[in-house]
Chain A
Amino acid sequence: MRRSYVHGESATAVATAATIASTTTVTTAPTSTTITATTAATKLTAMDTHDITLTINGTEHDLSVEPRTLLVHALRDELGYTGTNVGCESTLCGACTVNMDGDAVKSCTILAVQADGTELRTVEGLRESGTFHPIQEGFQKEHGLQCGYCTPGMMLAATDLLEENPDPSDEEIREGIEGNLCRCTGYQNIVNAVEYAAEEMRADDTGSTETAAADGGVPMTDYEAVKEED
């Protein structure tokens, strides 16, 4: 009997389920495999700290972090931006999604030192001058949240999607938020919330190109610069 070496025959039901769990690559996060915060940190004790600068929702913060400190822990534990949640420490659930220099990223698998010098937007920066961002309005009006734990990440992923595709179809929205898990809503009202926001934002845009109520502290020009580099 001849068996191919490369395809070791080790498939089980697990692998099938896993295939589904991973049929979609996580487009929003530059990352590798399953790395928990704890394993990433293993055996890196007593280390130096690095001074970094993070601009969060328009405010500049200087802080010292260990090389292994994850961005999400710097945001939450060091700087008190606790709106960004941790759900899986492995990029799979998307609860920790924030916007970094114009792109949605998963802050649980980015080191704080990698984010040095970047401009970040978190859920705390969505509301401006006492006015809800259209995505926030959409989530409330369409009942797009229940326990709310995935919501900050979901909204940040959604604003990134709408930045790239201002008029997405249902299917495009479902694809666009594939890196973000919600266990409460069954997603349908999240899709509706994103559609609501898309309509509102398009309506805003037709009024004036300067309106862009969407970006909460991150100037439009920065988005464009990043897009071109990509």
Chain B
Amino acid sequence: MSTETGETETNEVETSESSEVALEDVFGSAIERREDPALITGEAEYTDDIQRPNMAHMAVLRSQYGHAKIEDIDTSAAEAMDGVIAVYTATDIEEAGTPGDLPVGWLLPSLKTPSHPILAGDRVRYQGDGVAVVVAEERYLAQDALDAIDVEYDRLDAVVDPKEAVEDDAPAIHEWSEDPTDTETEDDGEAEEVPPNVAFDWEIGDADATDDAFANAAHTVDIDLTNQRLIPNAMEPRATVAEYLPGTEELEVHMTSQNPHLHRQLMAAVLDVPEHKLHVVAPEVGGGFGSKIHHYPDEALTAWCARELERPIKWTATRTETYLTDAHGRDHRTHAELAMDEEGTVTGMRVDTYAGMGAYLSTFAPSIPTYLYGTLLSGQYDIPAIHCQVTGAFTNGAPVDAYRGAGRPEALYVVERLMNLGAKEVGMDPAEFRRHNFIPSDDFPHETPVAVVYDSGDYEPALDKALDMLDYDELRERQEELREEGRYLGIGFSSYIEACGLAPSELAGQLGAQAGLWESGVVRVHPSGKVTAFCGTSGHGQGHETTFAQIVSRELGVPYEDIEIVEGDTDEIPQGMGTYGSRSAAVGGSAIATSSQKVVEKARKIAAHQLEAAEDDLEFEGGEFSVSGAPDRAMTIQEVAQQAYLAHDVPDDLEPGLEETSFFDPENFVFPFGTHAAVVEVDPESGEISFERYAAVDDVGNQINPKIVEGQVHGGIAQGVGQALYEGAEYDSNGSLMTGSMQDYAVPKAEHIPEMDTDSTVTPAPQNPLGVKGVGEAGTIAAPQAVVNAVCDALEPFDVDHIDMPITPEKIWNAAENDDSQEEI
């Protein structure tokens, strides 16, 4: 494809230096990121940059096969090599008495949880399974020694398609029980027996009401959709540097983590290390997109080797290893149906999905195709009845877990493809069909039939803005004219909703989460009035150091430059849940805002005492307490801080110091929404797609830093466009990954991504003190169906209803070529 450039204004936000921005304007300004100087000079330290004296290197031997029994492992030749310190297999882990089994962090009632050992013992279930590790004096030597390990396999049949995996004759990937009646029952008429590769069966919504809606429908449409497997592709591969300090029995682990506290908690259990003796640090992290949330075997193995050998150990994945082992995303096969009445009002939706889980259950895997998917199927629409059935399937592929969007892109892809088909069926314009079915703005809070209450929303303004940006009516006329000339323009909409900042913890617990979903924030005002704030989120490119300082600056009235933000270190931050699910601003930002407010309240007490005024008589503005009606009786927060630590004259019932901690647990999700529109031209003969326009209107609530919001939207859209047109992980029938490098997996390049025109509406979130929602995943959730809808719209004259992603030129060519109506021309 190509992009047309230079014709349209893309409405980009301009940045300012923080020194140019007045204190009262800091929150909401597009301040340049304070993270950047270290990143653009090479000074930032990523995990693989870390060097330790006497450091050794670990490498992992991975399975040659997608599915096989391990008959024998001979490590003697590798052990004999110069420079090789140790070679370990599952037997060594077991003999050391290490639990070595990775836990699952989200349980469902019907869930079957297979053991997931950090090294495979007698069986490998996907190519990423580690069979042995080598520790050597030097990076290359460790890799050399892998080749000297002799593993005898007995290859087994594999299955990679989630729908095929749950058929009766599919090869069983796990053995479920010592109880022979459970899995080895032979044809004794137990028709109820669940096929061995079914991980879970889950449903949401009212099946009967949905059946009624379809029985009474004037119109119905249905579609089969493949939401293909994706590889996250953070540019920095996963890596770990672990060091054991025998004197204090401390294990220090620097790793590529989106949530160091969670990794500490899980790793403590996996390795049987006391949690307080495990220090996990996320240094600079080069992107994650979900892939660095989960607990993988490799990080634990590095730490295990460091403790075993009492030496610092480094492990860094090769790109191929990240492709084999990083949790993949999506992998759904779905049949979806929509019911409508005569007027084109949607009356019901029925969805049946097979979700590939891969060989094992990754950390949060069970929640992704269930609670993060089924609950979003109402989209922006007022739909009376929805039913969704999901079958989770084990396959011989990499585990599937949260990847940017995590369940929500899959849901909105279903909803928005159905809405396009529905509009066509009833003969309405797709934009007007959407508008006709929107939840009205006066109907919030709105409870959907899939167990979610949207707290706020106003969908028409975003759609209208997108239509304006496109000059929609004129564009449709142009589309008609171009068709006469044999040129095929397509316009695709995606009116999306997103639930992020998953909360509250109590609800998450009821749904099966094995963790709380609060966030901690500490605000420490130093005696000089400078501030350090700590948050349990762990940014890796999102600019938290900038935006969180903007929050604290507003709350405390302290200059932005006087505030430092610390994340990503379990020794410095009380506790944390990390950065994922677009939660950091809404939950973490709210935690430090709440702590800031507590600091102000304590400072108010001190100021009132010192100014000999009643607390209620003090006004706080611009970092200064003043007595109402007597503005010259005033004290800055910096002066209060000094007094708080001097503690010579503070109220009797007050402790010295000025520092507060909060654990913020929101009352609900936040619900960003918006409308994206893609305009493409498709050449049916070559199959080429070129973007004419990409317009995005997002409502992410109040914006702390509009430039960072823009960047998040851009990046999200790029990944969504990547899914729509280029990306897809492919396994062959033996479970061998055919897209094992960047040569075969198409990560979009600059020329593949269109110019994006971004704008926003602002509907503040009512559930948090900042009125912010989340923006990290918006683009990825919105973009795929905008592009697919546009391509299908372009090919409307060829009677093309659907093309599965990634829409390659070959698929377009085939779709247009196979069109009967054209052959008669």
Residue ranges of A at the interface with B (Cβ–Cβ < 8 Å): 12-14, 16-18, 20-22, 24, 34, 36-38, 41-46, 66, 68-69, 73, 76-77, 80-90, 92-93, 95, 122-124, 126-127, 132, 136, 139-143, 145-152, 155, 169-171, 173-175, 177-178, 180-192
B234 close to A183 (CB less than 8 A) = yes
In the complex, which residues 121-140 of chain B have their Cβ closer than 8 Å to any Cβ of chain A? 139-140
Contact mask for chain B residues 460-471; partner A; CB cutoff 8 A; 1 contact, 0 none = 000000000000
Partner of A189, one of B233, B711, B727, B739: B711
A185 to B33, CA, bound (A): 14
B41 close to A127 (CB less than 8 A) = yes
**Which residues of B lie under 8 Å from residue A85 when comparing CB positions?**
46, 48, 235-236, 286
Q: Assuming the A-B contacts A77-B139, A82-B42, are A14 and B235 also in contact, with contact meaning beta carbons closer than 8 angstroms in the complex?
A: no
A139 to B707, CA, bound (A): 13
Name which residue of chain B comes closest to A68, CB basis.
B140
Given A90-B743, A124-B41, 8 new contacts (CB under 8 A): A16-B810, A17-B726, A36-B318, A76-B48, A92-B741, A149-B235, A190-B750, A191-B750
Q: Assuming the A-B contacts A93-B235, A147-B541, A148-B39, are A21 and B743 also in contact, with contact meaning beta carbons closer than 8 angstroms in the complex?
A: yes
B511 contacts partner chain A, Cβ-Cβ < 8 Å: no
Q: Assuming the A-B contacts A178-B749, A188-B755, are A16 and B43 also in contact, with contact meaning beta carbons closer than 8 angstroms in the complex?
A: no
B42 close to A90 (CB less than 8 A) = no
B39 close to A151 (CB less than 8 A) = yes
Question: Lowest 8 CB-CB distances: which A-B pairs, in order?
Answer: A83-B42, A149-B286, A147-B541, A148-B39, A186-B718, A186-B714, A146-B541, A82-B49
A88 close to B741 (CB less than 8 A) = yes
Name which residue of chain A comes closest to B808, CB basis.
A16
**Which of B3-11, B365-373, B634-642 contacts the other chain?**
B3-11
Smallest distance from the beta carbon of B25 to chain A beta carbons, Å? 18
Name which residue of chain A comes closest to B49, CB basis.
A82
Name which residue of chain B comes closest to A69, CB basis.
B140
A147 close to B714 (CB less than 8 A) = no
Smallest distance from the beta carbon of B38 to chain A beta carbons, Å? 8
B42 close to A124 (CB less than 8 A) = yes
B717 contacts partner chain A, Cβ-Cβ < 8 Å: yes
**Which residues of A lie under 8 Å from residue B717 when comparing CB positions?**
186
Name which residue of chain B comes closest to A13, CB basis.
B730
Smallest distance from the beta carbon of A90 to chain B beta carbons, Å? 6
Partner of B45, one of A38, A82, A147, A151: A82
A184 close to B708 (CB less than 8 A) = no
Number of inter-chain CB pairs below 8 Å: 255
**Which residues of A lie under 8 Å from residue B718 when comparing CB positions?**
183, 185-187
Best-surrounded residue of B36, B42, B82, B237 (most CB of chain A within 10 A):
B42
**Which residues of B lie under 8 Å from residue A149 when comparing CB positions?**
46, 234-236, 286-287
B573 contacts partner chain A, Cβ-Cβ < 8 Å: no
Smallest distance from the beta carbon of A150 to chain B beta carbons, Å? 5
B12 contacts partner chain A, Cβ-Cβ < 8 Å: yes
B715 contacts partner chain A, Cβ-Cβ < 8 Å: yes
Partner of A181, one of B730, B742, B755: B742
Smallest distance from the beta carbon of B817 to chain A beta carbons, Å? 15
A73 to B289, CA, bound (A): 27
B726 close to A20 (CB less than 8 A) = yes
Partner of B756, one of A38, A180, A188: A188
A46 to B148, CA, bound (A): 15
A147 close to B744 (CB less than 8 A) = no
B40 close to A45 (CB less than 8 A) = no
Smallest distance from the beta carbon of A74 to chain B beta carbons, Å? 12
Contact mask for chain B residues 186-220; partner A; CB cutoff 8 A; 1 contact, 0 none = 00000000000000000000000000000000000
Name which residue of chain A comes closest to B287, CB basis.
A147
- What would 18 A/B residue contacts be, using CB atoms closer than 8 Å? A14-B738, A14-B744, A17-B745, A17-B808, A21-B746, A36-B320, A43-B144, A66-B140, A73-B139, A76-B49, A82-B46, A126-B41, A143-B15, A148-B284, A169-B5, A178-B751, A183-B747, A185-B711
B319 contacts partner chain A, Cβ-Cβ < 8 Å: yes
Contact mask for chain B residues 790-807; partner A; CB cutoff 8 A; 1 contact, 0 none = 000000000000000010
Smallest distance from the beta carbon of B755 to chain A beta carbons, Å? 6
A69 to B139, CA, bound (A): 10
Q: Assuming the A-B contacts A73-B139, A83-B42, A188-B10, are A141 and B49 also in contact, with contact meaning beta carbons closer than 8 angstroms in the complex?
A: no
A177 to B748, CA, bound (A): 12
B540 contacts partner chain A, Cβ-Cβ < 8 Å: yes
Partner of B742, one of A90, A174, A187: A90
Q: Assuming the A-B contacts A152-B42, A170-B6, A183-B287, are A188 and B753 also in contact, with contact meaning beta carbons closer than 8 angstroms in the complex?
A: yes
A96 to B39, CA, bound (A): 14
A146 close to B728 (CB less than 8 A) = no
Smallest distance from the beta carbon of A133 to chain B beta carbons, Å? 9
Smallest distance from the beta carbon of A35 to chain B beta carbons, Å? 10
Q: Assuming the A-B contacts A36-B318, A183-B289, A189-B714, are A140 and B40 also in contact, with contact meaning beta carbons closer than 8 angstroms in the complex?
A: yes
B707 close to A143 (CB less than 8 A) = yes
In the complex, which residues 387-428 of chain B have their Cβ closer than 8 Å to any Cβ of chain A? none
**Which residues of A lie under 8 Å from residue B747 when comparing CB positions?**
21, 93, 181, 183
In the complex, which residues 697-749 of chain B have their Cβ closer than 8 Å to any Cβ of chain A? 707-708, 710-711, 714-719, 726-728, 730, 738-739, 741-747, 749
B285 contacts partner chain A, Cβ-Cβ < 8 Å: yes
B446 contacts partner chain A, Cβ-Cβ < 8 Å: no
Chain A interface mostly: loop
B815 contacts partner chain A, Cβ-Cβ < 8 Å: no
**Which residues of B lie under 8 Å from residue A89 when comparing CB positions?**
318-319
Partner of B730, one of A12, A81, A191: A12
Partner of A143, one of B44, B233, B711, B809: B711
Name which residue of chain A comes closest to B739, CB basis.
A14
Name which residue of chain A comes closest to B713, CB basis.
A186
Smallest distance from the beta carbon of A6 to chain B beta carbons, Å? 20
Smallest distance from the beta carbon of B333 to chain A beta carbons, Å? 16
B743 close to A142 (CB less than 8 A) = no
**Which residues of A lie under 8 Å from residue B53 when comparing CB positions?**
none
A88 close to B40 (CB less than 8 A) = no
A183 to B5, CA, bound (A): 21
Smallest distance from the beta carbon of A97 to chain B beta carbons, Å? 12
A148 close to B541 (CB less than 8 A) = yes
Q: Assuming the A-B contacts A38-B140, A83-B41, are A147 and B743 also in contact, with contact meaning beta carbons closer than 8 angstroms in the complex?
A: no
B730 close to A14 (CB less than 8 A) = yes
A42 to B751, CA, bound (A): 35
Name which residue of chain B comes closest to A194, CB basis.
B750
**Which residues of B lie under 8 Å from residue A175 when comparing CB positions?**
750-751
A142 to B40, CA, bound (A): 13
B32 contacts partner chain A, Cβ-Cβ < 8 Å: yes
Best-surrounded residue of B35, B710, B726, B746 (most CB of chain A within 10 A):
B746
B246 contacts partner chain A, Cβ-Cβ < 8 Å: no
Name which residue of chain B comes closest to A140, CB basis.
B36
A92 to B144, CA, bound (A): 23
Contact mask for chain B residues 16-35; partner A; CB cutoff 8 A; 1 contact, 0 none = 00000000000000001101
Q: Assuming the A-B contacts A86-B48, A147-B236, are A93 and B742 also in contact, with contact meaning beta carbons closer than 8 angstroms in the complex?
A: yes
Name which residue of chain A comes closest to B731, CB basis.
A14
B743 close to A34 (CB less than 8 A) = yes
B37 contacts partner chain A, Cβ-Cβ < 8 Å: yes
A73 to B741, CA, bound (A): 20
Best-surrounded residue of B40, B747, B753 (most CB of chain A within 10 A):
B40
A171 to B44, CA, bound (A): 31
B269 contacts partner chain A, Cβ-Cβ < 8 Å: no
Smallest distance from the beta carbon of A199 to chain B beta carbons, Å? 14
Smallest distance from the beta carbon of A126 to chain B beta carbons, Å? 7
Best-surrounded residue of A37, A140, A141, A178 (most CB of chain B within 10 A):
A140
**Which residues of B lie under 8 Å from residue A46 when comparing CB positions?**
82
Partner of B40, one of A87, A136, A169: A136
**Which residues of B lie under 8 Å from residue A188 when comparing CB positions?**
10, 12, 714, 753, 755-756
A183 close to B81 (CB less than 8 A) = no
A181 close to B749 (CB less than 8 A) = yes
A184 to B752, CA, bound (A): 14
B484 contacts partner chain A, Cβ-Cβ < 8 Å: no
B141 contacts partner chain A, Cβ-Cβ < 8 Å: yes
Name which residue of chain A comes closest to B740, CB basis.
A34
